[in-house]
Amino acid sequence: MGWQGAVKSVRGAFVYTIKTVAVRQFCLGLVLLVLSGCAIPRPGPAEKIINAESADLAGFTLIDVTAEKVANYRVQNVVEGAGTAGVPAAPAITLSSGDVLRVRIAESKEGGLFAPLIAGGTAFENVRVDYKGMISLPYAGRVKVAGLEPQQVEDRLRSRLAGVTFEPQVYVEIVSDRGSSVLVSGEVKAAGRFSLLEGPLTLIDAISKAGGPTKAPHLIDVIIRHGKSVKRMPLSTVMSGANQQIRAGDEITLVSASKVFNALGAVKKNGQTEFATPNPTLMDALAQAEGLDLTTASNTGVFVFRLHEPKAWLDADNRWQPGPVIFKFDMSKPETMFIAQAFGMRNDDTLYVTVAPSVEWVKQLQPIAATMNIVKGGATVARSLDAMQGN
């Protein structure tokens, strides 16, 4: 056959291989096109799927929020407290185990068991109230003082010393108190124990002494414990008028009560975010998500998913029934801007913005364009090789 015939034979086989590969790539492109039309990648369900199926999907109710319907789901107003504690009267200070006292005893003349009054008397420093609520002093013995005010302790000591001293004078001062203090801990900047000896404290006073909260008030709850009594309330409620006087022995704990929403889909900032305001609206949530992604978002497909809505649907007796709800907002309408400012978001709501149909259509066209490029490239190579064979 000769070397020229051998070369032509190799070229022919190579052209056949290239053409076969091109055909296979074309077929693969068609398969990809069909598959892409069935399942286009997106961050969640398409708008038409929600509109068509949500009413029967897992019991969800689809509510197209209009100016008339938004009245049922308006943003919650700030709840004012019932009043304010103001500046309360000084509470009675009573002693308890762990308190430390300074006791000064004096007699009216010299030569007695204690220094005379003119010399300032005899001072007993760091007299601690023991676990049984008692103190011990010379000539007075062990004396029960727990639950007594300092003046009552003075009277009790005076009566104990009346038979052994001459006209005893007794003065009791609290040096360090545990029972007459409050503990503030949790989400505060400087947790600690604060005494009531300087004067009465309100709840806001005590939190201020602890440096204030570490987060915004609407993200904090206050727990007040006194003995077996436990009370919990939002800090925002306390600061809006429900301040109250605290008592000796109270334990005040500030705990995080984060209120968050989830932002998904065609928004600029996806993820879980704490509400920036105590009474957030849909417009607030959109602002925190940095708005719609203008390159992909459908302004008619803005949804809020809520798992527990008290006003999900009306029964036959025109009574509201609870359940999961999908709220729909058509942001292409000017009035929806006002509706979004009136609609109240709730803790754990999910804001979801669908991808525009035009963007999905572009995704469908991408496999076609890729396939055409592959076929075009294969055909170009085949023509070049055909030309080489002709030579």
How far apart, in whole angstroms, are the C-alpha atoms of residue 213 and residue 369? 58
Q: Give CA 336 to chain center in angstroms.
A: 28
Write down the pLDDT at residue 155: 93
Write down the pLDDT at residue 336: 94
Q: Which DSSP helix (H) or strand (E) runs through 36?
A: helix 2-38
Place of tokens 């109230």: 129
Q: Residue 361: which pLDDT band, with cuts at 50, 70 and 90? A: very low
Using one digit for the tens of pLDDT, what is the confidence trace for 285-310? 999 999 999 888 999 999 999 999 99
How far apart, in whole angstroms, are the C-alpha atoms of residue 331 and residue 94? 64
Using one digit for the tens of pLDDT, what is the confidence trace for 22-52? 555 545 554 554 544 454 555 677 878 887 6
Residue 193 identity (one-letter amino acid): R
Q: Residue 170: which pLDDT band, with cuts at 50, 70 and 90? A: very high
Using one digit for the tens of pLDDT, what is the confidence trace for 198-241? 777 889 999 999 999 999 998 999 999 988 899 999 998 898 88
What is the number of other CB atoms lying within 10 angstroms of the CB of residue 105? 27
Whether 375 has a pLDDT exceeding 50, the answer reads no
Q: Pick the residue with more confidence: 334 or 373?
A: 334
Using one digit for the tens of pLDDT, what is the confidence trace for 145-157? 988 988 999 999 9
61 touches 324 (CB < 8 A):
yes
Look at strands 134-137 and 192-195 and give their pairing.
unpaired
Using one digit for the tens of pLDDT, what is the confidence trace for 250-270? 999 999 988 999 999 999 999
What the chain holds in terms of domains, given with CATH numbers, is: 47-77+279-359 (3.10.560.10), 100-176 (3.30.1950.10), 181-256 (3.10.560.10)
Using one digit for the tens of pLDDT, what is the confidence trace for 62-91? 999 999 999 999 987 655 444 555 555 656
Those residues whose C-beta lies under 8 Å from the C-beta of residue 36, and which sit 6 or more positions away, are 363, 364, 366, 367
Using one digit for the tens of pLDDT, what is the confidence trace for 127-138? 999 989 999 999
Q: How far apart are the first and last CA of the chain?
A: 17
Q: What's the mean pLDDT when you consider all of the chain? A: 80
Q: Smallest Cα–Cα separation from 91: which of 251, 254, 253, 244?
A: 244
193 touches 98 (CB < 8 A):
no
CA separation (Å) from 288 to 235, 265, 266, 347?
Answer: 23, 14, 14, 14
